[in-house]
Amino acid sequence: MIEFKNVEKKYPNNVKALEDINIQIPKGEFVAVIGLSGAGKSTLIRCINRMHDITRGKLIVDGIDIGKLRGYEIRKFRQRIGMIFQSFNLVTRISVLKNVLVSLVPELSAWRKVTGIFSREHKIKALTALEQVGILDKAFVRVDQLSGGQQQRVALARTLAQNPEIILADEPIASLDPVTSKQVMNDFKRINEEMGITVIMNIHHVEIALEYAHRILGVRDGRIVYDGSAKDVTEEVLDHIYKGREDVMKEVEGEKVYV
């Protein structure tokens, strides 16, 4: 369970990126965060793994108030959360397998960290992760010889190798073509469904978000303006998220609904 309680994030220049965020995300859910550029989508997901610190409220993950974590506690907590970036963040001059093994460095003993020697068990774990995303045959290929879609799958395998409970994805298909985007999204869907890993994805492609996610969070000006099932998202809801049309929101028996 991930829980935001009255969360606010304000940057040093006094720009408020998030305001009054109150949401709960149960384990195993696939959530897509949509909205205009600059709305606060990336900030929202990056607060979950303490890449950004909140300035007010509480952010609780599996009963842990992550704002109270310090030093080693933060590093240990982050091992439970995988992060996928638009830019892949791979070392392109080395092999696919070595890129995946990087995620297992925190598990190594001191002498293995110094020598860079991984155990047989670690190599099996990395190869298994590559098999899970369908690129086991590329294990010994240099990353710079792969397509963009294959590189994103390497990044996903690297995350899977650390056995995360949550995967955060920040625009994972923004630089991919439509066909490759579908392949990568199918990987995310399969991992979510078969492994029960919570997926929270910041995404600009609305149609893909509606096709793959269980739940949509619409963000505008740092606030959640829509929180509901993907199947309930209409053109009017999208207008409200992207254009701020307050006329599509009504109060019904004390609850805000979109019509």
Both structure tokens of 209: 């978000």
The two most distant CA atoms of the chain are separated, in Å, by 65
Q: Which residue, 154, 159, 10, 173, is CA-closest to 82?
A: 159
pLDDT digits (tens, 9 = 90+) for 20-50: 999 999 999 999 999 998 899 999 999 999 9
How high is the pLDDT of residue 113? 55
Q: What percent of the chain has pLDDT over 90?
A: 61
Distance CA(172)–CA(158), nearest Å, equals 14
Distance CA(31)–CA(189), nearest Å, equals 11
Distance CA(48)–CA(55), nearest Å, equals 13
pLDDT digits (tens, 9 = 90+) for 53-64: 999 999 999 999
Bridge-based pairing of strands 2-10 and 16-25 is: antiparallel
Distance CA(50)–CA(257), nearest Å, equals 32
Contact call for residues 67 and 54 (beta carbons, < 8 A): yes
In order of 60, 171, 188, 232, 239, the CA distances from 204 in angstroms are 26, 7, 16, 18, 14
Looking at 3.30.56.10, 3.40.50.300, 3.90.1150.10, 3.20.20.70, the CATH number of the domain 1-80+205-259 comes to: 3.40.50.300
The DSSP letter of residue 87 is: T
Both structure tokens of 253: 């028996």
User: For residue 162, what pLDDT band results from cuts at 50, 70 and 90?
Assistant: confident
The DSSP letter of residue 22 is: E
Which helix (H) or strand (E) element contains residue 198? strand 198-202
How high is the pLDDT of residue 7? 95
Domain boundaries, the chain: 1-80+205-259
Contact call for residues 68 and 157 (beta carbons, < 8 A): no
pLDDT digits (tens, 9 = 90+) for 72-107: 888 888 888 999 988 888 888 999 998 998 877 766
